[in-house]
Amino acid sequence: MSRIGKNPVTIPQGVSIEIADNVVKVKGKLGELSQSYSDVSMKIEDGKLLVERPSDSKNHTAKHGLYRALINNMVIGVSKGFTKELELVGVGYRASNQGQKLDLALGFSHGIVFEIAPEVKVETVNEKGKNPVIKLASFDRQLLGHVAAKIRSFRKPEPYKGKGIKFVGEQLRRKAGKSA
């Protein structure tokens, strides 16, 4: 039994869900998202969306939990939104943005200019004495995670000093280095 799939998705005030032709469309105050689905059935009862599977086969059980989680993330996204923060750790590492263009100085011989999708809002915070922080916000959780992972891939944190781009609150495994 899929424990996640059995839980109903509560629909908050101001969010509307349309189900037609194996596509779920979720509209809210922050935006609109759609997701196609297969091998499961969906119905709305008493302000809650229920995801049901036809059998207990492995494929149906997996998709039961998957589509319930995806739709729950869509509902939360269009009503509240999601945020991620990345921290640049290293001497001379800087970040600035002009609109949707993120300009990164990460110790390479050249700066990196990264064009961010219009659905993701970007903000950079540079305070004296603290590491620069990149704040990303969006209603689409998948796109937000993809953009954050792409930015992090430009300079992943190294295990000896921890220099690189990391998520705020991320615990890094550190190595001891040379022993004399």
Q: How high is the pLDDT of residue 109?
A: 95
Q: Do 74 and 96 reside in the same domain of the chain? A: no
Q: Do 20 and 69 reside in the same domain of the chain? A: yes
Q: Do 73 and 123 reside in the same domain of the chain? A: no
Q: How high is the pLDDT of residue 179?
A: 83
Domain finish residue from 28, 57, 79: 79
Q: How high is the pLDDT of residue 177?
A: 87
pLDDT in tens, 138-156: 999 999 999 999 999 999 9
In a domain, 60, yes or no: yes
Residue type at 63 in one-letter notation: K
Contact yes or no for 86/166 (Cβ under 8 A)? yes
Q: Do 127 and 96 reside in the same domain of the chain? A: yes
In a domain, 175, yes or no: no
Q: Do 7 and 53 reside in the same domain of the chain? A: yes
Domain finish residue from 79, 100, 131: 79
pLDDT in tens, 53-93: 999 999 999 999 999 999 999 999 999 999 999 999 999 99
Question: Which of 93, 126, 97 lies closest to 113, judged by CA?
Answer: 97
Q: What domain range includes position 100? A: 82-167
pTM, rounded to two decimals:
0.90
The pLDDT mean for the chain works out to 93
Q: Do 99 and 145 reside in the same domain of the chain? A: yes
Q: How high is the pLDDT of residue 2?
A: 63
Domain finish residue from 79, 110, 141: 79
* Residue 85 to residue 137: CA distance in whole angstroms: 9
4 band by pLDDT with thresholds 50, 70 and 90: confident
Q: Do 35 and 67 reside in the same domain of the chain? A: yes
In a domain, 177, yes or no: no
Confidence check: pLDDT of 1 > 60: no
Q: Do 150 and 87 reside in the same domain of the chain? A: yes
